Amino acid sequence: MSELRITYDRHGPAQEVLKLEEVPLVDLNPGQLRIRMDYANINPSDLGMIGGTYGRLPQLPAVAGREGVGTVEAIHPETRTSLKTGDRVRMPESLGAWRSHVICEPDGLIKVPSDIPAEQAATLFINPPTALLLLEQFVDLKPGDWVIQNAANSSVGTWVIQLCKLRGLHTINLVRRNELAAPLQALGADVVIEDNDDNIKQIKTLTGGNLAKLALNSVGGASVIRLIRGLADGGTCVTFGGMVGDPIRFPTRNLIFNDVHLCGFWMDKWMRSHSQDEIQALYNRLFDLVKTNGLSSPIAGTYSLRETVDAIQAASSPRMGKVLIRG
């Protein structure tokens, strides 16, 4: 029996530095268990880690991938744990998720309810909690308030739309392609417009005269100017990503005359500053939202581990939804 895994021993473009390795599965030691990966997914931060540009980098060589779920396949008889074979858990991020199997200790593993489909479970640990915390940590939003965001078709963006709809909040969603309007409106988006200067001037007309209390930026560059122009006086713009790689630009007059606030958010930092119990409680809230309210991540495609390069190409192309890698 062997393990497939996607590794890299230097930083660079994923298509150039990633390697598929096949190694024998070793026997379990006391204190260990083995997880079989069901699904993992591809996040922008995965490509940043591989490329060496992310804010936190693993020691090389490393197994790629941060997020996925698997099934406990075997437990050493001398391993003390409440987990059982057949339980679904999050793949341990520190050991990499793009691999068919992983052997680890049970401490710190996040158990996932079995009644959540594995494809959805694999997407629940980075983008959905980011969306949830963005809506709770910065502004006291009340039903009827407006939120504006760019890259609304991203995974965080689709979760922001669904969470806002659930809470009676309204969303203004900036996208790069008009054809994204219909699927986003099906998720609950109120206003969907192409991210350009002409459209941003129409926001008050489209919202019945309303401006947003909270702006969410994951793009950077000139798109931030358009977000800020959609903010009400005293509004807050939170940056949590920089897809275009350009410095944030903002109109000085809005900072002065409209008292606009700028700040940042990094999910990794939140995780490091909170206890395991607090992290588990956050995930439990998300599990309940999926089971009770039907919230979900659109899935754009699924690839095998041997097709990881193709999966990365798909994840780097215009799309709506997550690209998954199956074990």
Give pLDDT, residue 254.
81
The catalytic residue among 8, 39, 54, 303 is: 54
The helix (H) or strand (E) run that includes residue 278 is helix 276-293
- The CATH class of 127-268 is alpha beta
One fold for 2-123+297-326 and 127-268: no
What is the DSSP secondary structure assignment for residue 298, as one 8-state letter? -
Neighbouring CB atoms inside 10 A of 221's CB total 16
Nearest to 123 by CA among 64, 70, 67: 67
User: Topology of 2-123+297-326 in CATH?
Assistant: Quinone Oxidoreductase; Chain A, domain 1 (3.90.180)
Residue type, 6: I
What are the residue boundaries of the structural domains of the chain, listed by start? Answer: 2-123+297-326, 127-268
Q: Digits of tens for pLDDT over the chain (327 positions)?
A: 899 999 999 999 999 999 999 999 999 999 999 999 999 999 999 999 999 999 999 999 999 999 999 999 999 999 999 999 999 999 999 999 999 999 999 999 999 999 999 999 999 999 999 999 999 999 999 999 999 999 999 999 999 999 999 999 999 999 999 999 999 999 999 999 999 988 888 888 999 999 999 999 999 888 999 999 999 999 999 999 887 767 777 778 888 888 999 999 999 999 999 999 999 999 999 999 999 999 999 999 999 999 999 999 999 998 889 999 999
Give pLDDT, residue 221.
87
Contacts of 195 (CB under 8 A, 6+ apart): 150, 174, 175, 176, 219, 223, 226
Give pLDDT, residue 246.
74
CB 86 within 8 A of CB 61: no
The helix (H) or strand (E) run that includes residue 166 is helix 155-167
Model pTM above 0.75: yes
> In 3-state terms, what secondary structure has residue 199?
helix
Query: Among this protein's residues, is 54 annotated catalytic?
Result: yes
